Amino acid sequence: MSEAAQIDVERVLCRRDELGTAGCREFRLGSGPWPLRCFVIAVGDQVRAYVNRCAHQALPLNLLPDRFLTHDGSMILCTAHGAIYEKATGYCVAGPCAGRSLESVPVRVVAGYVLLDDSVDGEALRARYAEPAAS
C-alpha cells in the first residue's frame, strides 16, 4: 500500500507546499463551541505546530488569519503583547513571557501533506485548554 493511501484525511492540516519555506496556517482541534486554535509553521524544510496561545496571557498570537510572523518572517510574534518566539522551538526570546514557551503540537509530513501526528488526541488537548463556563 502506498504512503498516500495510508493518510487519515481527518488528520490532514494542509498541503506542505502551501507553507513554502516560511509560511504558516491556522487550524482548529476539537468540536463544539470552543475548538482549540493552533497553527502550523514551516521552518526551512521542517514543519512545526503550536497551540495558538501566548505564554503571557493565553490570548491568540495573531489578529489576522494565518499572520503569526515578524515582518522579516524569522520569528513568531504575539501581536497583543509583542512577545517574540523562535519558530523551531516556540521558545520566547523577548517580551513579557521571555524564557517561557508555546505548547508544541506534534505533526508529520506524509506524501506532501501536513498531518496531526497519530499521538495527538485533539479532543483531549482541547479539553486541557477548555474555555471556562459562563457564570
DSSP state letters, 18-77: GTTTT-EEEEEES-SS-PEEEEEEEETTEEEEEES--TTTS--S-SSTT--B-TTSSEEE
Which grid cell is 109? 509530513
User: pLDDT value at position 115?
Assistant: 95
- The pTM score is 0.88
> Per the domain annotation, does 58 fall within a domain?
yes
The pLDDT, as a whole number, for residue 30 is: 74
Q: What is the pLDDT along the chain (135 residues), one digit of tens a residue?
A: 455 557 888 899 999 999 988 889 999 887 667 788 999 999 988 999 999 999 998 899 999 999 999 999 999 999 998 999 999 999 999 999 999 999 999 999 999 999 999 998 877 888 777 655 444
Bridging pattern class, strands 107-110 and 92-94:
unpaired
pLDDT at position 3, please? Answer: 55
In a domain, residue 63? The reply is yes
Full residue range of the structural domain in which residue 71 is found: 4-128
> For the chain, what is the domain count?
1
